[in-house]
Chains A and B, each alone.
Chain A
């Protein structure tokens, strides 16, 4: 299926779930229009530590170091994932790149849409949330309501 002419710039939201992989695969099956570009975005939430006022300083430093290491490894994993998705899309003929953003999923996703001046957002129906939302993930649901552009929810 060819992508409609209006969809030249696409943002695909990834979160490591099967549904988000399917979202990327769906875009890969579209025939890219001239100058069609895709940005694969994965948002990583930073590890947030409580203030721990009663914990001794050395231990606090150790915990902080562990959190930082966790952050780094998650960022690296996210980067690998978006790069893999971008490679898949590049093979399909899109100009694709991977993008990792740090912060809360939805605001960062919307910022990525604005930043790339995208005209459609593609997301999977369900994400990687610990509690499986009933048939639709919270980010997908919120994106439907807040997105300034078309949203394609892939099942």
Chain B
């Protein structure tokens, strides 16, 4: 088996950049075509991302056949649909590694893809990782620009800022307590 079509879905995050490097390495060594896909949420103007996607595609293109695609829809399902459509035989995908409550709220595209994909899926975790051979300390050390927090929209170093995370955690605790109390009420002593 030799993969001829490798799909690299990107959300332009640092997590997906790492996945892009690995996807490129795999495509180069297998002589496969690399599909770079970005999915925008439904009813969003996709043209804004066209330029950014082209730039990512060009960044990976050296010595490779690269095909970029911009789709709109629910990210997970759209990626899987694209994989079916193009006969993709390997998906390389970055994960943010969210767990617990933030995972439940923000969902996990990676999980949907792994569940539904017709082919093997390689997930690349975010976060600093020192590969055995070539470390890239410069890239790892660069400070991430402040982006808006996904919940409140204030600039934050992280995806969800600390106050929001604390609030989410508190809500989760309340809900858990509530659920457990009602469970006990019905129990025979």
Contact = CB atoms under 8 A, between A and B. Distances in A.
Interface of A: 1-6, 8-9, 26, 29, 117, 119-120, 125, 134-136, 140-141, 144-155
Contacts of A149: 125, 129
A21 to B, nearest CB: 14
Contact of A144 (B110, B118, B119): B110
Contacts of B73: none
Q: Which of A120, A152, A153, A154 gathers most chain B CB within 10 Å?
A: A153
B163 interface: no
A45 to B, nearest CB: 23
A105 B168 CA distance: 30
B95 A144 contact: yes
Contact of A155 (B99, B103, B117): B117
B157 interface: no
Interface residues of B, number: 32
28 contacts: A1-B2, A1-B3, A1-B30, A2-B30, A5-B25, A5-B29, A6-B132, A26-B1, A119-B131, A135-B115, A136-B111, A136-B115, A144-B110, A144-B123, A145-B95, A145-B99, A148-B127, A150-B22, A150-B123, A152-B121, A152-B123, A153-B121, A153-B123, A154-B120, A155-B117, A155-B118, A155-B119, A155-B120
B97 interface: yes
A152 B115 contact: no
B56 interface: no
Contacts of A145: 95, 97-99, 103
Interface of B: 1-3, 22, 25-26, 29-30, 95, 97-99, 103, 110-111, 114-125, 127, 129, 131-133
Contacts of A6: 22, 25, 131-133
Contacts of A1: 1-3, 26, 29-30
